[in-house]
Amino acid sequence: MVKIINKGLNELGAKEMTRLFEGNAKEFPDSDWNFEIGDRIGKTSKTQQKFNPNTTMGFYGIHSCTDGPVLIPLSWLNYELKEYKEI
């Protein structure tokens, strides 16, 4: 078993999230739509039988005005893998 621990957005993730929510920033200018490295989005952790680098850490809780629901791929995150055996 492998546990993926979400350590927050990496540089690519911060840029992509800010880009995806540009429409929200125009429509809702009073809210902060700038994402930064280290921002925690998606699930805090996920357990898998075998590590799959193409997995996602769930949906971001707010829809993008232009792209709809946003899935958070591992490539956008700093993460840690912990392997352990089932008892």
pLDDT tens-digit profile of 22-74? 999 999 999 889 999 999 999 999 999 999 999 999 999 899 999 999 999 99
Q: Is the pLDDT of residue 86 over 80?
A: no
How many domains, in total, are found in the chain? 1
CA-nearest of 80, 13, 19, 70 to 44 is 80
Structural domain containing residue 72? 2-83
Report DSSP state, residue 69: S
- What pLDDT score was predicted for residue 87? 65
Contacts of 3 (CB under 8 A, 6+ apart): 45, 46, 47, 81, 82, 83, 84
pTM of the shown model: 0.88
